Chain A
Amino acid sequence: MNKLLHVLLWKMNLQAVIATVGILVLASGVGTYVYASSTSNFQQTINIGTLAIDIVDASYVTVASPSVVMSTATFSFACQTITGTFGTASQNIYVSNPDAADNGWTASLAASATTAVWDSVGTDYDFNDNGTSGCADSGVDVDTLGGQMTVDPSVGTLAVGQCNSCVTTNVTKGSSTAYVEGTTNSITVLTGAAASNDIGDWKLTGVSVSQKIPEEQVPATDYDINMVLSIVAS
């Protein structure tokens, strides 16, 4: 071993050895040296982050194309309901507040347009029409389609995310609400009160989504709708 070290030192420039050892020590964090000086002034700034909402997997990695899969329905002469779950183990609703919204925040879910519909090729049905308990067109909105979606965050499971010292206190799940065009275009999913953790992250799973399908709705396998999950600081 000594012989090997001797050969290595002989082969190398002494200054390079000292520099290399120094870099390795600093990089590994094994030793920390503070040189005493009357003018020493160590400063560090950690900027606040920005409030964010996302759909992440169990490892907190953003899901590229998040979606909510609804239960299948069979053609019926009567109005029927399909259900789905927004927020799953692989697609968590995730709120991150890195000291960016001390007054609290509101997370809400809305369709990408108030005139949006469950769209399939050649046939659609509505998501925000409360005619006949959501089963038929009310005539209030511009389209002539029936169908209504209800979102119930209150049955979901709220948990702290990666923050070990955080709590879910003062973070409230929204109540069960149905979309009604012109009246309820946006449904509150989560609310962080001012007293909630200023630095914290939370994840929500198991939000119930149910959709009334009008009677005699044409069968199709590709009904879909675009929705937007928003967060705004209070």
Chain B
Amino acid sequence: MQRLFLIISTAAVLLTLPLNLRGLEYGGLGGRPANPNPAIPNSQNWFIYELAAGTVKEDAVIISNGGTEPVTALIYPADATRSSDGGFALKQQTETMTGVGSWVRLYPNDRPTFAAGSNTSIIEWCGSSLDGNGSRANRLTPTQKLELIAWCRGVANHELTIEGGREISLPFIMSAPPGLSVGEHTGGIVIQKKQPTADLTESGIQITTRVGVRIYQTVPGTVKKELRISGFNISPAAQPGYYTVTLSLSNGSSVSLNQLSRISITNLWTRQHQTIERPGQVLHDDELVINFPLKKPFLGRLRLQATVTYDVDGQPQLITSRIIHVTNVHWSLLIILVLVLISIGGMLIKRRRAHSNQETTRYTVKAHEDVSAIADRFHLSWQQLAKLNQLKPPYRLTPGQVLIIPKQKTSRTRSTSRKNH
């Protein structure tokens, strides 16, 4: 009976635990630096090194599986690359690494048996050139040294399976090659999920996910920080009703620069104003192209200018772009405008035709005749006569002046005069 109660109580405790653990929610595959330095900001997220050319540093990356199921992951270092809209990204494993991605070697395998259990660093065993000539190597037999040399090379990538809720620390060596230029060199360590091949019955895309942990390696020295606007344009976007405003920023310096781009847009016809902001980082020796979607106005002439702010040693720097203008009239307004123009044109043509159909004759002004007398004679108003002959105030006529008289009026005058006779 006593055993029964113990079993029940233990079961109750075990049943209660999962209820508490639900608060953990989602936990994916991730990574972070194993040895963050509290004195260095962001070192809990990034590997931040300041290695002189020709030196090495030993570190480790923590790979965690916050889920409940085991996950197989591929770990590899990669060079930095630029994503669209200026995002920071890392190269794919299939690409050739020439920078940070080629300077990191992983040490997932156990040390040789003669070095097992030793707390001595990899560098001490292998030497700064990782050729197996470290301070401990002198005590080894030739066979042991060969084994050590092979191990000291490390590996370029490593596949491992992590149980749910577990973390693994993976040591690596970061080398700053001899002759490395002063300034910043960026890359990262990638933790990529290895997924089973999707069984696609239709044409499709198979998706794999990965997480990158950045590496910022800076070779100490004097660096010039300078950002310039290398392009500022506007063009119709693929999406109907939108423009694409393109701002290109060139960073000719040897360090990445954080910037805030601000596009100021004013509709000169409606006086409406808006600002689009986009913070981001421009990698060293790189050009960042940022595309801003901008909705076309119903009617207006837009004035656009970009301003970019960045920081140089605590001093804010401001650069501005050229001003560009673009006029937009919505298609429906254009159609209305065209219809109005067609209508006006049609009316004018009709009137001209009516005028051209109306035959005229000429009348020579005699002495003592004025406009109203001649108008009365031809059954016209004096205004009609003046308008037809483009007479200006005070409407004086001179004898011998020739006036244009509508023929129908003259005919009517003739017929009237015949009747009177």
Residues of A within 8 Å of B69, CB to CB, are 62
Known A65-B196, A65-B197, A111-B92: A52·B81 in contact at CB below 8 Å: no
Q: Is A187 an interface residue (CB 8 A)?
A: yes
Q: A23 CA to B239 CA in the complex, in Å?
A: 64
Residues of A within 8 Å of B293, CB to CB, are 154, 175-176
Known A12-B2, A65-B197, A106-B89: A221·B81 in contact at CB below 8 Å: no
CB of A106 within 8 A of CB of B87, answer yes
Partner of B209, one of A185, A209, A229: A229
CB of A186 within 8 A of CB of B84, answer yes
Partner of B90, one of A23, A162, A175, A232: A232
Give the contact-size bracket for chain B: 35 or more
Q: A223 CA to B115 CA in the complex, in Å?
A: 51
Q: Is A28 an interface residue (CB 8 A)?
A: yes
CB of B42 within 8 A of CB of A226, answer no
Within 8 A of B (CB), among A180-224: 184-188, 191, 193-194, 201, 209, 221-224
Q: Determine chain B's interface SS by DSSP, over half rule.
A: mixed
Q: Which of A53, A72, A231, A233 has the most CB of B within 10 A?
A: A233
Partner of A106, one of B25, B88, B93, B278: B88
Q: A112 CA to B127 CA in the complex, in Å?
A: 35
CB of A230 within 8 A of CB of B2, answer no
Known A52-B66, A64-B195: A101·B45 in contact at CB below 8 Å: yes
Known A176-B238, A228-B92: A67·B209 in contact at CB below 8 Å: no
Partner of B92, one of A84, A100, A113, A177: A113
Partner of B32, one of A11, A53, A100, A209: A100
Partner of A56, one of B2, B13, B26, B29: B26
Q: Is B204 an interface residue (CB 8 A)?
A: yes
Q: Is B9 an interface residue (CB 8 A)?
A: yes
CB of A233 within 8 A of CB of B46, answer yes
| A-B contacts besides A11-B1, A12-B5, A162-B26, 20 pairs, CB < 8 Å | A13-B2, A20-B5, A29-B16, A50-B30, A52-B26, A53-B28, A65-B197, A69-B200, A176-B237, A176-B238, A176-B293, A186-B84, A188-B89, A191-B85, A227-B207, A227-B208, A228-B209, A229-B210, A232-B88, A232-B212
* The 7 A-B residue pairs with the shortest CB-CB distance in the complex, in nearest-first order: A50-B30, A52-B28, A106-B87, A113-B94, A65-B198, A188-B87, A232-B212
Residue contacts A-B, CB under 8 angstroms, 12 given: A11-B1, A16-B6, A50-B211, A52-B29, A53-B209, A96-B28, A174-B84, A223-B203, A226-B208, A227-B206, A230-B89, A234-B88
Using a CB–CB distance below 8 Å, which chain B residues touch chain A? Answer: 1-2, 5-6, 8-10, 12-13, 16, 25-32, 42, 44-46, 62, 64, 66-67, 69, 81-90, 92-95, 188, 190, 192, 195-214, 237-239, 244, 278-279, 281, 291-293
Using a CB–CB distance below 8 Å, which chain A residues touch chain B? Answer: 8, 11-13, 16-17, 19-20, 23-24, 27-29, 48-56, 60, 62, 64-70, 72-73, 82, 84, 86, 94, 96, 98, 100-103, 106, 108, 110-115, 118, 150, 152, 154-155, 161-162, 172, 174-177, 184-188, 191, 193-194, 201, 209, 221-234
